[in-house]
Amino acid sequence: MTTSRALWLTGIRRAELKQSGLAPLAENELLIESRFGAISRGTESLVAEGSVPVSEYGNMRAPLQDGEFPFPVKYGYAVVGTVKAGGAGLVGETVFCLHPHQDLIHVPAAMVIPVPADVPAARAVLAANMETALNGIWDAGILAGDKVTVVGGGLVGLLVAFLSAKVPGTQVTLIDVNPDRRTLTEKLGCRFALPEEAQASACDSDVVIHASASSEGLATAIAVAGFEARIVEMSWFGEGTSAVPLGGRFHSHRLSIIGSQVGHVPALRRARWPLSRRLETALALLNDDRLDDLVSGETAFDDLAGRYIGILSDPDTLCHRIRYC
């Protein structure tokens, strides 16, 4: 029997590499040898802390996840690998799939997307986060010429700012408490501001997207929104709560707050956009060399169990890449 190794979370802040056998390849399945993976720090941190609310166990289940919340659970959703066996004419192709961290995997052929020739395999691990960012700007309804503010310069916030800046005529500002984000933000074609700088300037954004997962960030989003502007909340707090300043300018400016979550395509697109089309589009949008700067570190899979919790705990982590070979 072919064996594989996978990262399992076995308790709060406890990670282990476990070996198991792979069953014979089923019809319509592919055998994929992993080359690269990526850690989604925000979501995986909540999983590692055991902070997925019981009410959300079903909604937060990752594709092809093994185990059950809270523990033990095999969690993750970014693998780029080479098809070694199976049908669908994909043997030898480099593909992306939503799968936990594992070195050799069986995946239904319908769940893999070929990586475009102009996107390096090492960058393609950003696809799941780019898909989240794409869904967010759809929910935001950004139009040509809009003044857009993104609060939170983590990986998703930076990708949202990157996509927003591609809409013709937009003026995009990214707000973050870390001044070291300035150079990267400007390289992506956006302005950068610290929270105090942004709130001291004109507060007239047409669209504000919040991705800092903090009450302070949400307060900043409300503070910089223009009259009757839309605020899109992209953070996920797990079992946590957020203080929302609903007094002051929230009411006088007739602001609205909506939630954005990648599990569903926005209603206005849902009839024409299956999840596979959205993921294909996210992969195609990665054909930009500037996005390589969003990879903040890399770890060999053999060393992942020992380093995993430290990676999640580092506030400077953007995309931490896993190298399998």
Number of helices (H) and strands (E) in the chain: give both, helices first.
Answer: 9, 17
Instruction: Identify the pLDDT of residue 242.
Output: 85
Segments in the chain below pLDDT 50: none
pLDDT at position 319 is 97
Mean pLDDT score of the chain, rounded to an integer?
95
pLDDT score at 1: 63
Specify the amino acid at residue 38.
A
Q: What are the structural domain ranges in the chain?
A: 3-123+286-323, 132-259
Look up the CATH architecture of domain 132-259: 3-Layer(aba) Sandwich (3.40)
CB atoms within 10 A of CB 92: 8
Radius of gyration of the chain (CA): 20
The pLDDT tens digits of the residues spanning 134-150 come to 999 999 999 999 999 99
Q: How would you write 190-255 as a 3-class SS string?
A: CEEECHHHHHHCCCCEEEEEECCCCHHHHHHHHHHEEEEEEEEECCCCCCCCCCCCCCCHHHHCCC
Nearest CA among 211, 180, 208, 179 for reference residue 196: 179
- The sheet that has 14-21: what strands, in order across it? 14-21, 3-11, 73-74, 66-67
3-123+286-323 matches 132-259 in fold: no
Distance of CA 136 to the CA centre of its chain: 11
Predicted pLDDT of residue 93: 98
CATH number of 3-123+286-323: 3.90.180.10
Q: Specify the pLDDT at position 261.
A: 92
Contacts of 189 (CB under 8 A, 6+ apart): 162, 165, 172
253 in Cβ contact with 226 (< 8 Å) = yes
**Rounded-to-10 torsion of CA 7, 318, 108, 24:** -20
Torsion sign across C-alpha atoms 265, 270, 276, 279: negative
pTM of the model: 0.95
Residue 200 confidence (pLDDT)? 78
- 141 φ/ψ sector (left φ>0, alpha ψ -120 to 50, else beta): left
Per residue in 216-260, pLDDT (tens digit) is: 999 999 999 999 999 999 998 877 788 899 988 999 999 999 999
